[in-house]
Structure 1
């Protein structure tokens, strides 16, 4: 809360009837309007993917792509409209988040178009760049809608328990729809003919709203400890209820929908927000123990999850003389793509990452970037993701209300966990989960949902950085305070 220091001292020897003194008002300085900075960064975020687009065309065809001008104008128009909306409805928001999302989205479009160019070299190759551009436009449209409609992020607190119900419906819905062979046992899509949507991408945002509202009310009770064991404060038994419910929910998702990534994301998100709300390390320990035990239980009983764990333990099994039918070569191909890229990469359009086959544009798009941009390019991409998370957490620190703090932490953590889960699975750090890399990978649901996530973060940032309103100057006459002449004019 902003405070004002109003001095009321008087100099000795002077009559208060003849002494007229104007009070000094100290107004805390808010963050300046940084929309011009955002505009300059947006121009860079549009030009850089255009140069990458031209590089791919020259490398593969020896000439500039015919659609380069249309692509540049389209991305530029989307970025400009989003920027103008920010100027009008969120003038004090963070200037980096929108350019960072635009840059990642643009680079993803270029790589998807580059993999489309592989043509017959890619089995079951379906051109996806045009669809991804359409989803990008829808994502920016939703971004604009959220920025315009969401006047104050604290309004979301009113819908805490409604958010829980909606999120549970979205998570459970795919279990009632049949899966296809190309889904490899995972039930995470809702399909209507040729149209499909992955509701879990939107559920992560809605669940974050529920967690923020619930923990803001219950954080004092959850922070209480009943006893100390091995240097840790153990929570009371009745306070373990919420974390056990979320743990069981994540296990049920994993069992009925075989969705390893969403289970890890939702449970990890709740544990992180619980730790931030209560500052109890014991919650992290309990969360890790329950997560490991649940994953071990499901891995021994669910064939789909067991297959992914086997591929993680031995990614080169598919290249053995007599590989099992369940062996997959994608992780091995991706690791070889990373190795081929080396430090500086083969160059855009000059790699062979299409050997990863059907998931090269979605789950394994990082393999394409790793081969053609090398370790240097991969570190730059992870730096962009890290900046988004850092700006989100910085927004949480600057936010005045506890609900906004928890919501910003939750959204930033959900984004960071998704990046970790996907990057860890592709690089062999953890078992593959089937989630998509935010903004880069092919997938309309993920792209649109992450644009909405960025929009909410920007609205929280605008509220946190907005300067406090300066009160009208006052004068003191005979101990009474009245507005200075002209202050009401």
Structure 2
């Protein structure tokens, strides 16, 4: 090499393997905690280790390893915390569902843990498929209006199927023989895709203000059209399907993304005002919604021979747990009935692990949403930023709606607690949601060509 020649610098991609190794070590922890919780629950209920403990541990570990290998292969630069958090929540959910299954000798119930494990496996399969097939999240922008149309179809379809007494007034399921599906769950991904593509085109017009009132810049009247359309559609969902949860989630995602796209606080205030007025009007005419609000306002009232309502029972369960809980397998939240495995599974967590356990679970949810928002900040394209915000908002809003309903902070909606509660449609959709976030994160963290990477800690 002569004096005028420059030395050849070899770029060693050390950062990505470091993140994946961090993810793998966290996944070991995420599998070990549910297995130990499973063992403790079995000892409390039967005085011995559960017979299926080995199979549960191997199955959960295999699912986690398969997902990790998919991320390592197809998204090597992705966030290292999302997958372990999702695996930990899913594993804990299986433990609590199994614990409630064991109470069937005391209360008429049907086993659901095995079915939930199967649905979790299908969710991991969809996760791997999204990681492999979605080469770049920006490809989703091509399907903006197709995603919006598909979301509306999925929201409307349950209204054309006969409702059942087991649905308790909400027409949100499609029943085909012994199989049922909740299509509204898949809307949590389709709507953010549609809103992201739509706001990419319209955000400049929506950000314009016509006048200032009480310190706020008011949007122009001609630009109120989009929020009025979304508002009307959310009310139609509430009227025809009496699905308060999906309606709130649908409208909430749009308002959050609209605020992020335009940076106008006035849109948030208009959204909250319109939502309040609309739900108040529907509650005065729709009996099912009115009943939900009445139970929220009077959770401890008793009906003729029916006893305290579900919210009241959940409050008793949460109160019985105290700071540290009664211990896994030693609570009585199964008395809530069928709902103990859906949104009210948070009552089981609160009773048997106490305030400490509920706080830990909510922190895990908050951390997963925070990593999604961090991905939005790191994304280099506007569509990816909006999509990451929308998906994170959908996840966070659902947790808030469920936790608020169970604790009596807001009216009950009947939505499932993500990853933890029983529900095949929910767990499959949430795994797909995490997969899309990881693909956005991978592109956002991918180094520029020729950039020298250094070993790094989790960030």
TM bucket normalised to smaller: over 0.9
Alignment of 1:38-77 (within 5 A): 38-77=23-62
Alignment of 1:246-395 (within 5 A): 246-318=230-302, 323=303, 329-395=309-375
1:87 aligns with 2:72: yes
1:434 aligns with 2:414: yes
**Measured at CA, do residues 84 and 30 of structure 1 come closer, stay the same or move farther in structure 2, by a change above 3 Å?**
closer
**Measured at CA, do residues 50 and 239 of structure 1 come closer, stay the same or move farther in structure 2, by a change above 3 Å?**
same
1:132 aligns with 2:91: no
Q: Render the CA deviation track for 1:56-115: whole Å, top value 9, x for unaligned.
A: 010010000000000000011111111111111111100110010000000000000000
Where 1:300 maps in the other structure, the secondary structure is helix
- Please report the TM-score for the alignment, with normalisation by the length of structure 2: 0.95
1:479 matched residue in structure 2: none
1:35 aligns with 2:20: yes
1:174 aligns with 2:154: no
Q: What displacement does 1:327 show?
A: 7.9
1:466 aligns with 2:446: yes
CA distance in 1, matches of 2:296, 2:45: 33
Q: What displacement does 1:204 show?
A: 1.6
CA distance in 2, matches of 1:361, 1:285: 35
Q: 1:265–1:417: 8 Å Cα contact kept in structure 2?
A: yes
1:10 matched residue in structure 2: none
Q: What displacement does 1:122 show?
A: 2.0
2:170 matched residue in structure 1: 186
2:129 matched residue in structure 1: 145
Where 2:42 maps in the other structure, the secondary structure is helix
Q: 1:208–1:411: 8 Å Cα contact kept in structure 2?
A: yes
CA distance in 2, matches of 1:395, 1:189: 33
Alignment of 1:222-233 (within 5 A): 222-233=206-217
CA distance in 2, matches of 1:310, 1:66: 44
Q: What displacement does 1:324 show?
A: 5.4
Q: 2:197–2:383: 8 Å Cα contact kept in structure 1?
A: yes
1:155 matched residue in structure 2: 139
1:400 aligns with 2:384: no
Match of 2:184 among 197, 200, 209: 200
Q: What displacement does 1:120 show?
A: 2.7
CA distance in 2, matches of 1:332, 1:37: 43
**Measured at CA, do residues 328 and 267 of structure 1 come closer, stay the same or move farther in structure 2, by a change above 3 Å?**
farther
User: Runs of 4 or more off by more than 6 Å in structure 1?
Assistant: none
Unmatched runs of 5 consecutive residues or more in structure 2: 453-459
Q: What displacement does 1:32 show?
A: 4.0
Q: 2:20–2:76: 8 Å Cα contact kept in structure 1?
A: yes
Q: What displacement does 1:121 show?
A: 1.7
CA distance in 2, matches of 1:333, 1:317: 11
Where 1:433 maps in the other structure, the secondary structure is coil
Q: 2:148–2:190: 8 Å Cα contact kept in structure 1?
A: yes
**Measured at CA, do residues 326 and 281 of structure 1 come closer, stay the same or move farther in structure 2, by a change above 3 Å?**
farther
Q: 1:215–1:277: 8 Å Cα contact kept in structure 2?
A: yes
**Measured at CA, do residues 104 and 19 of structure 1 come closer, stay the same or move farther in structure 2, by a change above 3 Å?**
closer
Q: What displacement does 1:357 show?
A: 1.2
CA distance in 2, matches of 1:114, 1:82: 26
**Measured at CA, do residues 359 and 471 of structure 1 come closer, stay the same or move farther in structure 2, by a change above 3 Å?**
closer
CA distance in 2, matches of 1:88, 1:298: 49
Q: Render the CA deviation track for 1:397-448: whole Å, top value 9, x for unaligned.
A: 0000000000000000000000000000000000000100000000000000
Where 1:117 maps in the other structure, the secondary structure is helix
Match of 1:241 among 215, 225, 240: 225
CA distance in 1, matches of 2:349, 2:214: 45
Q: Render the CA deviation track for 1:350-389: whole Å, top value 9, x for unaligned.
A: 1111111111111200000000000000000001001100
Q: How many residues matched?
A: 448
Q: What displacement does 1:182 show?
A: 1.5
Q: 2:399–2:418: 8 Å Cα contact kept in structure 1?
A: yes
1:449 matched residue in structure 2: 429
Larger helix fraction of residues: 2
- Please report the TM-score for the alignment, with normalisation by the length of structure 1: 0.89
Q: 2:16–2:76: 8 Å Cα contact kept in structure 1?
A: no
CA distance in 1, matches of 2:237, 2:8: 60
Q: What displacement does 1:471 show?
A: 8.0
CA distance in 2, matches of 1:366, 1:242: 36
* Higher Rg: 1
Q: What displacement does 1:326 show?
A: 8.8
1:414 matched residue in structure 2: 394
Q: 1:216–1:403: 8 Å Cα contact kept in structure 2?
A: yes
